[in-house]
Amino acid sequence: MTSPNYKLIVNYGPEMPIITGPASAETGHSVTFNCSASSQPLCHFSWFFNGSQVATGSVYETGPLTLASHGEYTCVAFNNITGRNSTISKMLTVVGESVTPT
């Protein structure tokens, strides 16, 4: 006799979030940060710049950078089933655009 198939789903996370993106950029350019984390079900992401929320979603693209864009970019991953969140931050250094002599 064979029992019916069962599917076991283990909810967990988010664990070990990672931000990919540059550590420095020039004024006038934009940068893209990507956040990922291990989680079941998939987690939701929020982005913060120097403590203020600026976006939701796993990808955050800045507008054209100014010197005021220098600072800490934080990704918060949240799993609404486990009720857990996990945070990671990355510093972005913004420098004035280089000028090449003609």
83: left (phi over 0), alpha (psi -120 to 50) or beta: left
Whether residue 36 contacts residue 15, with contact meaning beta carbons closer than 8 Å, is answered with no
| CA distances (Å), origin 67, targets 26, 27, 29, 50, 82 | 9, 7, 11, 14, 39
Q: Is a pLDDT exceeding 80 seen at residue 98?
A: no
pLDDT tens-digit readout, 16-60: 999 999 999 999 999 999 999 999 999 999 999 999 999 999 999
Q: Is a pLDDT exceeding 90 seen at residue 3?
A: no
Q: CATH number of the domain at 68, please.
A: 2.60.40.10
Total residue length of the chain: 102
Q: Which domain holds residue 69?
A: 12-95
Is residue 102 assigned to a domain? no
Domain count across the chain = 1
